[in-house]
Amino acid sequence: MKIIVDAFGGDNAPGEILLGCAQARKELGVDLVLTGDREKLLGCAKELGLETDLAGMEILDCPGVLTMEDEPTAVLKEKADSSMALGLRALAEGKGDAFASAGNSGALVVGATMIVKRIKGVKRVAFAPLLPKSQGFFMLSDGGASVDCRPEMLLQFGLMGAAYMRDVMGVENPRVGLVNVGTESHKGDELRHQAYELLRQRKDLNFIGNVEARDIPYDGCDVAVTDGFTGNVMLKLFEGVAMALMDKFKGVFSQSLKNKLAAAAVYGDLKKLKKSLDYNEYGGAPIMGAAKPVFKIHGSAKASTVKSALRLTRDYAQSGFVDKIAQAVKPQGERQDG
């Protein structure tokens, strides 16, 4: 298993990426190919005492870096010499089994679509993060790759999401819900009406109907299907509300000596809670629908998160997920496995 990693993507590149890669190589049994400026990488490895580790990895040398400020389409043009663009091309050319980057999500979606290309039959790729619910995690599909959607795209987001949750995450018979403004089948706009009908007709999908956003954090479904606009707003609101609330709690606990003492008493348990809410546990999210595994690592990932992401990237590649998706998105009658 050979994973190509964008060594210059993300807030903490290249240091934390390199550290994470060094850990992943030792613990996960994967070969790594780094893309980016060779001289800078060597210098960074020297600084961190990772020279031997880096010596065990392949480097694809390139000068450029695609930043968060770049337009997504820059990955195809102005920044075609960047570590992200080179990694995507290397994946497309078969120089590795998967590609992972903590860089600009928009550019990664464009690159996955235009350079790696989509699986035959997939209309749009989906960025599919996992978010905490009362028990475990649910997948948001699409979390922001495709802002303008047609009903058949939402169907595919559901099919791909269910396949991922089953084959990569090990969730049995994942429950797929359509995010809507009410649970009744007639709720929502025209896009939802048509998507509902398409989802309902798929006998190979455990479609549980419409789900309200209020119920999703309470284990309302395993895959929350929505268009990329709504999904991206949901993803960011989820993050914003959780962070703001955690900050308010912190404020209470540092208000007085008495409160600080109380905080100290529950510190360990609160830390566990924070960890259970931490969507960094999975390190990132797949760009589902690309013809080869492309994985988005969290932009702010540090070494341990990079390693977690690479574990999931490995599982993703090993699962044969891409073939399963090609199978899953076929019209119902054409499927080989029924």
Residues that bind its own copies (CB under 8 A): 133-134, 144, 147-148, 179, 181, 188-190, 192, 212-218, 226, 228-230, 232-249, 251-253, 255-256, 258-259, 261-263, 265-266, 269-270, 273, 276-277
| 12 vs 226 by CB, closer to its own copies | 226
Amino acid at 221: C
Strand partners, 60: 35
DSSP 119: P
In the complex, the smallest distance separating the C-beta of residue 242 from its own copies, rounded to whole angstroms, is 6
Alpha-carbon torsion, ordered 134, 140, 143, 146, to 10 deg:
-160
Closest CA to 21 of 247, 313, 324, 289: 313
In the complex, the smallest distance separating the C-beta of residue 143 from its own copies, rounded to whole angstroms, is 10
In the complex, the smallest distance separating the C-beta of residue 97 from its own copies, rounded to whole angstroms, is 31
Instruction: Report CA-CA distances (Å) from 41 to 30, 48, 65, 186, 259.
Output: 19, 11, 13, 56, 46
| 22 vs 102 by CB, closer to its own copies | 102
| 83 vs 105 by CB, closer to its own copies | 105
* Rg, the chain, Cα only: 21
| 4 vs 109 by CB, closer to its own copies | 109
Instruction: Report CA-CA distances (Å) from 37 to 64, 143, 203, 265.
Output: 7, 31, 50, 48
Is residue 139 within 8 A of residue 114, CB to CB? The reply is no
In the complex, the smallest distance separating the C-beta of residue 251 from its own copies, rounded to whole angstroms, is 8
In the complex, the smallest distance separating the C-beta of residue 280 from its own copies, rounded to whole angstroms, is 15
| 55 vs 252 by CB, closer to its own copies | 252
